[in-house]
Amino acid sequence: MSAAVADNHHGEHEHHFDGSNRVFGFWVYIMSDCVLFATLFAVYAVFHTHTFGGPSGKELFDLPFVFIETLFLLFSSFTFGLAMLSRNSGSVARVTGWLWVTAILGICFIAMEIYEFHHLYVEGHYWASSAFLSSFFALVGTHGLHVTLGIVWIISMIFQLKKHGMTPLTKTKLTYLGLFWHFLDIVWIFVFSVVYLMGAI
pLDDT, mean of residues 66-73? 97
48 has a pLDDT exceeding 50: yes
Task: Identify the band that residue 53 occupies on the pLDDT scale cut at 50, 70 and 90.
Answer: confident
Tell me the average pLDDT across 87-92.
84
Distance between CA atoms of residues 13 and 19, nearest Å: 10
**Cα–Cα nearest to 51, from 159, 146, 136, 168:** 136
Q: Check: CB of residue 194 under 8 Å from CB of residue 140.
A: no
From 196, 174, 181, 187, select the one nearest 83 (Cα to Cα): 174
Question: What is the C-alpha to C-alpha distance for residues 33 and 187, in angstroms, rounded to an integer?
Answer: 10
Question: What pLDDT does 9 receive?
Answer: 43
Could you give the CA distance from residue 185 to residue 139 in angstroms, rounded to a whole number?
14
pLDDT of residue 3: 44
Arithmetic mean of pLDDT, 177-190: 96
Domain boundaries, the chain: 2-200
- On the question of pLDDT at 200 being above 80, the answer is no
| Angstrom distance (rounded) from CA 76 to CA 84 | 12
The second-level CATH assignment, the architecture, of 2-200 is Up-down Bundle (1.20)
Query: In this prediction, what percent of the chain has a pLDDT beyond 70?
Result: 90
pLDDT at 110 over 50: yes
* pTM for this predicted structure: 0.86
Q: What is the pLDDT of residue 59?
A: 92
Segment 72-99 mean pLDDT? 93
For 182, residues 6+ apart whose C-beta sits below 8 A from its C-beta are 77, 80
Write down the pLDDT at residue 15: 44
% of the chain exceeding 90 in pLDDT: 72
Q: What is the pLDDT of residue 13?
A: 44
DSSP character string of 124-192: T--TTS-HHHHHHHHHHHHHHHHHHHHHHHHHHHHHHHHHH-S-HHHHHHHHHHHHHHHHHHHHHHHHI
The highest-confidence range among 75-89, 102-116, 168-182, by mean pLDDT, is 102-116
pLDDT at 24 over 60: yes
- pLDDT over threshold 80, residue 19: no
Q: What is the mean pLDDT of the chain?
A: 89
